[in-house]
């Protein structure tokens, strides 16, 4: 199954077209060196009343040399996309964060989860249990990690159903559609957001604001490490900027 990051990008933008078309849009190239190029597409709310999304970010590496997962002296030809979907501060819907890094002719590095913003058992039942069920669908897929990719960063925020792994290219007919099932689950929640009264409870809203801020801050702090996997485009300044742009 041949696939590129353009397929992931189009899959995301087509699914959320009715939302993205109502947002302000900007594009920028963050870093470029020879053939290697890292760019951003950022969608921000226009502030329309009742519109749920605050920010959607796509980070795209069109081509780059990225460290191999097994040999940190080996650089793989790679293309990747990282996406984040964040709702308004007073709408505590989980944060969708996803990554697809395609190491050419070697393997696919895939991560995706719907990160919850409350520990309330009712909230977790509504927004985490479907993610856990989705994870169980392909629990035995070769290359799938048993839990969270980076426990030190994510453990307290994950849904408990994260898809994270390094998959053989031959498994793309299973791994890629599965990745998009997480996307479709999030879209379904976003489309029916009015059906969840718990999202309007003051205590849940306040907890959501606090947890979202802690979660995004943690990701921002980790961003320099993420960018360091693309050594030819890395700098400390760009690493800090990456976190600010993504989240």
User: pLDDT, tens digit, for every residue of 118-149?
Assistant: 999 999 999 999 999 999 999 989 999 987 66
Residue 246 in domain: no
Task: Return the ∠ at Cα 25 (arms to 19 and 31), rounded to 5°.
Answer: 130
> Which of 200, 212, 227, 206 is CA-nearest to residue 99?
227
pTM of the predicted structure, to 2 decimals: 0.95
Backbone angles phi, psi at 156, to 5 degrees: -80, -10
Which pLDDT tens digit goes with each residue over 19-71? 999 999 999 999 999 999 999 999 999 988 889 999 999 999 999 999 999 98
Using DSSP's 3-state secondary structure scheme, residue 25 falls into: strand
Question: What does pLDDT average to over the chain?
Answer: 93
Residue 247 in domain: no
Residue 220 in domain: yes
Residue 66 in domain: yes
* Distance from C-alpha of 162 to C-alpha of 60, rounded to nearest angstrom: 22
Residue 93 carries which DSSP code?
P
Q: Which pair of structure tokens corresponds to residue 13?
A: 């933008």
Residue 243 in domain: no
Domain that holds residue 54: 5-238
Q: Domain count for the chain, please give it.
A: 1
Give the residue-averaged pLDDT of 97-118.
96
For residue 72, the model assigns a pLDDT of 84
Give the residue-averaged pLDDT of 194-198.
97
CATH number of the domain bearing residue 46: 3.40.1500.20
Residue 34 in domain: yes
> Which of 143, 194, 198 is CA-nearest to residue 171?
143
């Amino acid at each position: 199954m041949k696939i590129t990051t353009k397929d992931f990008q189009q899959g995301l933008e087509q699914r959320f077209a009715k939302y993205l078309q109502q947002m302000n849009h900007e594009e920028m190239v963050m870093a470029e060196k020879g053939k290697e190029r890292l760019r951003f597409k950022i969608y921000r709310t226009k502030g329309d009343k009742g519109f749920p999304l605050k920010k959607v970010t796509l980070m795209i590496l069109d081509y780059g040399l990225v460290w191999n997962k097994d040999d940190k002296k080996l650089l793989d030809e790679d293309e990747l996309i990282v996406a984040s979907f964040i709702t308004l501060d007073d709408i505590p819907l989980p944060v969708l964060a996803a990554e697809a890094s395609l190491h050419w002719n070697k393997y696919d590095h895939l991560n995706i989860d719907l990160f919850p913003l409350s520990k309330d058992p009712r909230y977790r039942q509504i927004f985490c249990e479907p993610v856990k069920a989705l994870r169980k669908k392909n629990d035995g897929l070769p290359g799938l990690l048993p839990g969270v990719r980076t426990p030190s960063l994510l453990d307290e925020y994950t849904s408990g159903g994260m898809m994270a792994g390094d998959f053989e290219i031959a498994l793309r007919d299973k791994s890629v559609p599965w990745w998009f099932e997480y996307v479709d689950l999030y879209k379904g929640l976003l489309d029916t957001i009015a059906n969840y009264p718990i999202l309007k409870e003051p205590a849940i809203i306040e907890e959501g604001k606090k947890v979202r801020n802690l979660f995004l801050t943690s990701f921002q702090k980790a961003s320099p490490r993420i960018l360091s996997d693309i050594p030819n485009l890395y700098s400390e300044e760009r690493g800090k900027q990456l976190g600010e742009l993504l989240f």
